[in-house]
Structure formats: structure tokens, C-alpha cells
A and B are shown apart, each in its own frame.
Chain A
Amino acid sequence: MNARWTYFLLLLGLPGLLWLATLRVEGEGALSMPMVRLPLEPPDNPQTPAKVALGRRLFYDTRLSADGTVACASCHKPAFAFSDGGQRFSRGVGGQEGQRNAPSLTNVGHRRALFWEGRSPRLELQAVGPLTAHNEMAMTPEALAQRLEAIPSYAQAFREVFGEPPSLRMVTFALAAFQRTLLSYNSPFDRFQAGDLKALSPAAQRGMELFFSERGDCFHCHTGPEFTDDTPHNTALYTVYPDIGLARATGRDEDVGKFKTPTLRNVALTAPYMHDGSIPTLREVVMHYNRGGQPNLNADVLIRPLGLSEQEIDDLVAFLESLTDRSFTANPNLLPPAEP
């Protein structure tokens, strides 16, 4: 483990970890702690406790939007694993509705590709999107810098953390540092993996087998500990996609309907599902895969009728539900700070 992270966890994370530990003692009383995977820190934006604290304030602050009504957290709510709590589409300034479902920010520091089409390479750049989009927070770099400079506690905090006044760029750096602390590795599945064989119900265990089998084939795209390959695929959700996905950026016909595989961690908290929030429940998502989707020329070869029984569908759902980490949504270090 990198020394700076150790230091950082000690300073900031310790209360949280202790709290996590008590939760687990109250819970199943497992033998070993699931392993926390720390994201890589970009060399130009090292984590410091002060920077994370600043990013946390900014994340919850509606003053970052043109009309002062919308914060990052308006669409990425902690109780819903930082997704938008049942909203199919989120609303930005002036109540304007967006066109996509707000994804969960669970372990977002590990994503190598951001946004539904996966075209943004790092958190520092991604945040420019919502901050400036006309239907999200609708700020200009100039207005944002002026607004924050006029708030003495921010004017001071930016100078302390970055040695320079507030700017769009420094806002995105602080937000990125906070988002790299959105770590969730304490689901029943993680505890099962760490050796607590009672953490998963028999149904969830059967679902897990299916998920990682060639028959279910889910793990080919929902890969590894993050349950995503960070790559866009067409899952045959529609024959004609109203939102064309990756093609919007590349202009290529073969990219129509391709969206980045989302993580499945905490997925039971992030309904509705898919890029457009068009599927209301997990069971219906699994049924979509079981049918093999709709006819679509760009569909991934793995999307095909699976022939799962009703029981197997339920098992898969039970497994997906076992990916929920309540200690994440209640982690006091990730909730709104005391003074905004």
C-alpha cells in the first residue's frame, strides 16, 4: 500500500473503518475483513485529507449550480449508492430533465472509462460535464470561480489545498479526490469471499454460480471485483435505440446502442436500470437477458436466449441483491459534512 494512502486512511478513514468494524461485529461476526481496493492516485492530484474534505463539501453544495438548486448529490444520493433514488431521469437547473439514468458512483475511482459511453478518461475531466451542461448545473468556468471566491471559507480552503484561488479545474480536482473515497467492499458477497460462508443464502450462492458460469455468462462483461470491464457493449435492449450511445461520440453505425458495462455493486439500491432507466426491477433485467434481448445487428454475441428457469432467475436476483453494502450508504465520512 502506498504510504500516502496509509496516512490518509489513518487520518480520515480511521473513524469510518472502526465504525465498519463494529458493524461487522454486530453482524455475522466474520473471521476476516473483506479487502478494500484503493484506487490509484493520479500523480498530479494526490489524495490529502484537506482536499477530500473540500471535495466532500463541494459535492453536496448546491451553490455550484447556476440557480443554486442543484448539487452533485442531487442526482448522486448516498442512500442510493450515489445514484438518483428511483428517478429514471434526473433533473438539473430549472427542473430540466436529462436523458440518461444517473449511475451509481460506487468505487468510481476504479473506473477507467466514465459516462455511459465510457469516453471520459478520468474523474477530473468527467466533472466538467455536469458542472457546465446546460440541463445539469449550467455553470461557466468564470461564474463558478467568481461564486466560490466570494465565499470566504472556500476562497481560503482552495488556497490552502491547492495554493491557488478557486477555478473550475481545482473544483474538479477536489471532487475527484472525494469521489476516490467512495469505496464499498463490505457486501455479503465480499464477506463470503473473505471466508464467511454463512454470508450468502443458498439462493444467492446458486445465483453466484450461474453468474460466473458460461451458461449465465454475466461475468464476461461484469468482470472482476468491480463487476465491469469498463467497455461499451450493445445488450440488445432495443431494436432501434432512441439514445444511440457510443455512436453519439464516434459517429459510427456499429457503435449505435453501445453503453459501458455498469458496476453491479450495490445494484439493488440503484433502480431503475440501464442507461435510460427503462427497466424498473432487477428481476426484469435478468428476464431481459434470459430472452436474449431484442433483434439488433450490433448486439454482443453473448446476448442470446439463456434458457433460465424461474428458479434460476430468482437465484440470479438473490445474488445481485447480495452485492449490497449497507456500511457504504451509511458511512458517516461520505455523508454531507456538518457545515456546508
Chain B
Amino acid sequence: MQRWLLLWPLFALALAAPVELKLNLRVGGQPLQFGQTYQTPQKQRYQIDLLKFYLSEVALVRPDGSEVRVPGLVLAEFKPGGPTQGVTLMRFEAPPGTYRGIRFNVGVPRELNHLDAATQSPPLGVNSGMYWAWNPGYIFFKLEGRAFLEPERRWVIHMGTDAFRIPVRLQDLQTPRLVLNLPGRGGSILLNLDVGAAFLPGPGGAFLDWRQEELRQLHGLSPQTRAFMGLVYQNLIQAFSLASPPLQSR
């Protein structure tokens, strides 16, 4: 028994495969390009200038529904001049084997979100540019751009507060379609985020109409704009997907 215990670390080492979690930004079916003009379903033309979000509480989901949790919190940032395809968000280790998906949250875990931001270290803290001075807590998801109206207008979506942590579940336990086979030598899991999906209309055709000033500054929980924040939130839950193939071995 004693001897087995001594060997355990070696087993553990052999059992951990390196994984990279990578992201492609898309608009509809196309890779996102900064500087390119896109159109919402309501034919408002826009450009993306910044995308920044926290990713946390990542877990790989086993076929029996149990999870391999991955510790850590990362801040992803995309802006003109930087890459948008195959960008590594996070590196971690997980036991090789078969998985049926991945889940994560876009946001800062509740227990970290309300500590004193003046003393927290990166990627938290005020130097992140994600601290929300008017509200204790962080902006979880920041999307900024311009709308080509007459005249051109800047718009921002700053989503945060515990009510707007985005739970993303990319798993499929029922059908055998989704299988991630993580080999012992490790691999990359590739996600897509369709940024354009943020602007899809809601029930009854309600949409984020940038001609309205208050909808160009979407922050926090304000009852005046909350319905629209809720709409973008619902859209974003659906905006992540696994690329195909979802896993590339090393």
C-alpha cells in the first residue's frame, strides 16, 4: 500500500495531458476581421473595435456527466492589430480520455467579484480596464464598436454584475455526435464565438437600435435598458460553439 502511494504522483503525471483552449472570432460564418464593416439583421452597419471578457470555471464533461474542473481565471482581449483566429485563451492539464463537451462561464466567479479591486492582482484589479467604478464588481464582457449611422456613432456593451455571468454549456450527453478524445500527448480544444450573434433580434423583433442614444451605452442593470442587456445576454449564451473538428491532437 505504502509503495503504491509513493508511485501515485508518477501516475498522475502520466495521466495529465496538456490542453490548450483556443478561440476563433467569427461574424456569422466568416472569421472576424477588424476594420471590416458588418451588418446587423436590421441592416445597421457596424465595426468592432474591442472585445474583452473574463473566462472562468472551465470544466471538461465526462460521458457520465461528471466534470474535470480546471482552476483559473483569464482575461481575453481582442483589438485591431491583434489576431482573431486560433487565439489561445488558456492552458491547463486534464486526464486523457473521452469527453462529451466543455462548459465555462464568461465572467468573474462571485467570490472574486466583490473583493476589494484596489488590491486584487492581474487579471483582476483596476489595471485590467474591466473594473466598474460605479458598481462594485467587474465588467465581465465588453464589446465596443462603431455604428455607421448619420453621423457615425460609438457604442459599447459592458455586461456585468452577478446577474449577467454567462454560462456556456457546449456538451452533448444524449447523442453520440460530440466526442472529444483527448490523447495522452494532449491537444487543443477549439471554440468559435460569433460576435455578430450579439445583435440578433429578440421576441417580437426587438433589437439593439443604435439610433437610440441609451442603447449605445449599455451598462449594468438599469431598468431602462435591462431588457436589451437581457437580449444580448441570451444571444451570447448561444454565440459560443465548438469548431469542427473541436479537438486537434498535438
Contact = CB atoms under 8 A, between A and B. Distances in A.
Contacts of B128: 141
Interface in A112-152: 115, 117, 119-122, 124-130, 132, 134, 140-142, 145
A256 B117 CA distance: 27
Given A248-B221, A249-B221, A256-B223, A119 B127 contact: no
Interface string B206-232: 000000000000001111101000000
Which of B118, B125, B221 has most A Cβ within 10 Å? B118
Contacts of B223: 244, 247, 251, 253, 256
A126 B133 CA distance: 5
Nearest to A139: B129
A121 B126 CA distance: 14
A296 interface: no
A238 to B, nearest CB: 15
A119 B126 contact: no
Interface string A164-180: 00011100110000000
Nearest to A140: B129
Nearest to A123: B118
A250 interface: yes
B103 interface: no
Interface residues of B, number: 23
Contacts of A251: 163, 220-223, 226
A339 interface: no
B150 to A, nearest CB: 19
6 contacts: A44-B119, A125-B131, A129-B134, A132-B129, A141-B126, A256-B223
Given A120-B133, A249-B134, 12 more contacts: A44-B118, A119-B134, A121-B116, A125-B118, A128-B133, A129-B133, A142-B129, A169-B127, A172-B118, A247-B223, A248-B220, A251-B223
Closest 4 A-B residue pairs measured CB to CB? A129-B133, A251-B221, A124-B118, A128-B133
